[in-house]
Amino acid sequence: MDSPDQTVEIEHTHVTFPEEMTLECGAVLRGMTVAYRTYGTLNAERSNAVLVCHALTGDQYVAERHPLTGKGGWWETVVGPGRPVDTDRFFVICVNVLGGCMGSTGPRSARDDVDIDPAPVWGTDFPPVTIGDMVRAQKRLIDHLGIARLFAVIGGSMGGMQVLEWAAKYPDAVFAAIPVATAAYHSAQNIAFHEVGRQAIFADPDWNGGRYWQIGKIPARGLAVARMCAHITYLSEQALTRKFGRRLQTAPKDPTEAISLFGDMFEVESYLRHQGSSFVHRFDANSYLTITRAMDYFDLAAEYGGDLAAAFRGTGTRFCIVSFTSDWLFPTRESRAIARALNRAAANVSFVEVPSDKGHDAFLLDEPAFHRILAGFLQGCAVHAGLPG
């Protein structure tokens, strides 16, 4: 796990589209690769496809062993045989987002705008992408797979932003939409936390102006600090207190980090350091910058004159919106604002706030109430869609 280039070696399942892709910023990708994974079987009517959208640091390995970390899929609590998104029934697709680092076109890809052989990688010159760009890339894949209408689109956090974008832009292609622990725009506080992470990356000397691969390095310490800061926002105060409280453990002897009292450190410090250091081996710093920017710029209502309801007017999609009580990164009030906008648009919408003390991360964890809601909503939608039971 020590080689910074390790991920480059992995061959991800992918499609490369020869057509140009014009991004919202105006930049043109001459070709675009979309890496993805599927689970289950597409039925003859092509009517049982469920698109799962991943969050900031997620990827397409939603329900299987991760090829890089060796860990289980990031949403095996939700996606799999007999799980709420049942792969015995549904054909599940998960796509690495545009700008990501697990096989889809992103900062680590070779430039397609220069005639140099071999082409250098994009790095920081990769154009900024938006949640809208990510969704249009996914739409190309769905078209490519011959799926006219997705039975459902589901995702949490940034995945939920993609769900909202899908429902707004392609209402006829989305039978059911499940945005979880998300918002229709990124708040000033969330932008601020992202900016701290970006500044930590910029402050790392191994960042090397964004061209770290040229010196054979990764900005590991800066990226670790970014991850640590973000990780706190994923947990609730209660979860941190329950998991760690003020318990101490023996501090490692590290002459550069001398100041500890009586040779101890808090368990929560050790946990955060581990979160930071393990992250840098599976994620690319330029992708982190690109994707945090995409989240920050997300503001669905802004495209509709500030009226979120206008994004969904006339929609036939069935919505199930889920928030968690202790999520302070995407608090319930932001989900409620989506539900109200959908009500104003006369949409078919359920909204559930799930009691949980696990914070934003609750959507990834074992939350039986959330899973029951998901399973029930999908079963109801299956009946309405005429899916075989």
Piece in contact with its own copies (CB under 8 A), picked from 2-10, 119-127, 172-180, 343-351:
119-127
- Are 236 and 358 contacting, i.e. CB atoms less than 8 angstroms apart? yes
CB of 227 to its own copies, least distance (A): 10
Token duo for residue 353: 């706030």
189 binds its own copies (CB under 8 A): yes
Piece in contact with its own copies (CB under 8 A), picked from 5-13, 79-87, 228-236, 346-354:
228-236
Piece in contact with its own copies (CB under 8 A), picked from 28-36, 74-82, 145-153, 250-258:
250-258
Of the residues 104, 157, 236, 335, only one is catalytic, namely: 157
Q: How many CA atoms lie within 13 A of 52 on its CB side?
A: 30
Among 5, 88, 172, 195, contact with its own copies (rule: CB under 8 A):
195
232 binds its own copies (CB under 8 A): yes
Task: Tell me whether residue 206 is exposed, middle or buried, using C-beta atoms within 10 angstroms of its C-beta: 0 to 12, 13 to 18, 19 or more.
Answer: middle
114 binds its own copies (CB under 8 A): no
Piece in contact with its own copies (CB under 8 A), picked from 89-97, 172-180, 197-205, 338-346:
197-205
165 binds its own copies (CB under 8 A): no
Of the residues 133, 204, 284, 327, only one is catalytic, namely: 327
Size (the chain), residues: 389
Any idea which residue has 């919202």 for tokens?
24
Of the residues 12, 54, 186, 360, only one is catalytic, namely: 360
For the chain, the distance separating the N- and C-terminal CA atoms, rounded to the nearest angstrom, is 44
15 binds its own copies (CB under 8 A): no
304 binds its own copies (CB under 8 A): no
CB of 244 to its own copies, least distance (A): 5
Among 146, 256, 314, 383, contact with its own copies (rule: CB under 8 A):
256
Residues 6+ apart with CB under 8 A from 179: 155, 160, 161, 163, 164, 319, 321, 322, 335, 338
Q: Are strands 248-250 and 264-266 parallel, antiparallel or unpaired?
A: antiparallel
257 binds its own copies (CB under 8 A): yes
* C-alpha separations of 257 from 90, 193, 254, 281, 313 in Å: 51, 24, 5, 22, 56
Nearer to its own copies, 205 or 376 (CB): 205
Q: Distance between CA atoms of 54 and 289, rounded to whole angstroms?
A: 16
- Based on the residue annotation, tell me whether 144 is a catalytic residue of this protein: no
What is the distance, to the nearest Å, from the Cα of residue 121 to the centroid of all Cα atoms in its chain?
Answer: 23
255 binds its own copies (CB under 8 A): yes
What phi and psi, each to the nearest 5 degrees, are found at residue 369? Answer: -65, -45
- Based on the residue annotation, tell me whether 360 is a catalytic residue of this protein: yes
Q: How many CB atoms lie within 10 A of CB 204?
A: 20
- Are 203 and 285 contacting, i.e. CB atoms less than 8 angstroms apart? no
Farthest CA pair distance, the chain: 67
215 binds its own copies (CB under 8 A): no
What is the distance, to the nearest Å, from the Cα of residue 70 to the centroid of all Cα atoms in its chain?
Answer: 19
Any idea which residue has 């949980």 for tokens?
356
The interface mask with its own copies, positions 259-288, x = CB under 8 A, is: xxxx---x-xx--xx--x---------x--
25 binds its own copies (CB under 8 A): yes
Nearer to its own copies, 79 or 218 (CB): 218
Q: Which residues are catalytic?
A: 157, 327, 360
Which stretches of the chain bind its own copies, using CB under 8 A?
25, 124-126, 128, 130, 185-189, 191-193, 195-196, 198-200, 202-205, 207, 209-210, 221-222, 224-225, 228-229, 232, 235, 237, 240-241, 243-246, 255-262, 266, 268-269, 272-273, 276, 286, 289-290, 293, 296-297, 299, 328
